[in-house]
Homo-oligomer: A and B are copies of this chain.
Amino acid sequence: MEVTSKYIVIKTSIDGKPQESDFEMKTQPFSLSLKPGSKDIIIKNLYLSIDPYQINRMKTVSASQKASEFSIAISPGEVIDAYGVGKVVASGNPEFQENDYVVGLISWGEYSTSQGSMLSKLDPMGFPLSYHVGILGLSGLTAYAGFFKVCKPKKGEKVFVSTASGSVGNLVGQYAKHFGCYVVGCAGSSNKVKLLKEKLGFDEVFNYKEETDLNSTLQRYFPDGIDIYFDNVGGKMLEAAISNMKSHGRVALCGVISEYTNAEKRATPDMINVIYKRITIQGFLAGDYMSLFPEFVTTTVDHLRTSKMNVLEDVSVGLEGLPSAFVGLFRGDNIGKRIVQVSQI
């Protein structure tokens, strides 16, 4: 059986802030049955993770960067791979059966084809499928591994999280609170501030857009200094955080969204501070911590079942809204995990 499959592409490379007009929807004939002997898996895409880091793959890059192991460039006009949840339509791979739910690398489209190496069978464990894109998926693992393995927290330590209402930041704050840390977040609207304090239990949250001197702001919230800074934003906030770190403080670099679309905004941290305070700044990717997945899922499922953690999701419906959902990330439109539901089950 052949269908017409819609998918989203970039029209050209994107080097500044993305606009909806940078994207277009294309269609292609797509066969839902396998050729004899094929080992492919054909997937109907259900939920797609919408992540800021994808912009780094959309930039104009040199040949050497294209070959980089770290971030495979997305070419204009081509299918864009992305993390998500889908359902198997047909499979020539004995590990996957028709109607299995799967999670892993699918694509910004209605259907995906996979060889299975970046895909896992998914047991929803009674939770909504969308949870497996966010809190029980890579966003969750990023927060869990980044906080527990990169930041190496001790109970009672003072933690600062930027983009605290984002997909990862809100989870870091919740893990840190349950672990016994003092947690301050920053976000970009009064709604987000209220939500993080009242619903997620952050000790303090401030709206960075209302602050004129981030250095003083952080001094006010951390009069004795910051032990752990979980950075999702980079730029001036990273500089201010480094100026306010305690001795032996740790900075986990998860993302630097303010720098993704404008290299002019790069942080110029005071490295004299980094030396005298013996600060560690560590970049990390969740992919290095896949062995932690079972522990992370067990802990997080337990927190969800005992209502110790809250889920912040921002789900829009329909592939055609994907460009808008993606572009909005860079305006801070999302509250929590941004997800596009491509299709009903």
When the two chains form the complex, which single residue of B70, B238, B272, B277 contacts A259, counting CB atoms closer than 8 Å?
A: B272
Map CB proximity to B onto A260-300 as digits: 1 under 8 Å, 0 otherwise.
10010011111111111111111111001000000000000
Is B274 a contact partner of A253 (Cβ separation < 8 A)? yes
Once the chains are docked, how many angstroms separate the CA of A268 from the CA of B269?
A: 7
Q: Does A211 contact B (CB under 8 A)?
A: no
Q: Does A137 contact B (CB under 8 A)?
A: no
Is A275 a contact partner of B247 (Cβ separation < 8 A)? no
Is A275 a contact partner of B255 (Cβ separation < 8 A)? yes
Map CB proximity to B onto A302-341 as digits: 1 under 8 Å, 0 otherwise.
0000000000000000000000000000000000000000
Q: Does A234 contact B (CB under 8 A)?
A: yes
Q: Does A54 contact B (CB under 8 A)?
A: no
14 additional contacts (CB under 8 A) given A275-B284, A279-B283: A56-B276, A68-B276, A71-B276, A234-B271, A253-B274, A256-B271, A256-B275, A263-B270, A266-B268, A274-B281, A274-B283, A275-B283, A275-B285, A278-B284
Once the chains are docked, how many angstroms separate the CA of A256 from the CA of B279?
A: 14
Is A271 a contact partner of B278 (Cβ separation < 8 A)? no
Is B285 a contact partner of A238 (Cβ separation < 8 A)? no
Q: A residues 241-257 with Cβ under 8 Å of B? A: 247, 253-256
Q: Does A69 contact B (CB under 8 A)?
A: yes
Number of copies: 2
Report B-chain residues with C-beta under 8 Å of the C-beta of A254: 275
Report B-chain residues with C-beta under 8 Å of the C-beta of A273: 283
When the two chains form the complex, which single residue of B260, B275, B282, B283 contacts A253, counting CB atoms closer than 8 Å?
A: B275
Report B-chain residues with C-beta under 8 Å of the C-beta of A281: 274, 280-282
Is A267 a contact partner of B271 (Cβ separation < 8 A)? yes
Question: In the assembled complex, how far is the CB of residue A71 from the closest CB belonging to chain B, in whole angstroms?
Answer: 6
Question: In the assembled complex, how far is the CB of residue A64 from the closest CB belonging to chain B, in whole angstroms?
Answer: 9
When the two chains form the complex, which single residue of B259, B266, B276, B278 contacts A282, counting CB atoms closer than 8 Å?
A: B278
Once the chains are docked, how many angstroms separate the CA of A285 from the CA of B247?
A: 11
When the two chains form the complex, which single residue of B247, B263, B270, B279 contacts A69, counting CB atoms closer than 8 Å?
A: B247
Considering the complex, give the chain B residue whose CB is closest to the CB of A263. Answer: B270
Is A272 a contact partner of B56 (Cβ separation < 8 A)? yes
18 residue pairs from A and B, CB less than 8 Å apart: A56-B272, A70-B247, A70-B276, A70-B277, A234-B271, A253-B274, A253-B275, A254-B275, A259-B271, A259-B272, A260-B272, A271-B283, A274-B281, A275-B284, A276-B283, A278-B283, A278-B288, A279-B282
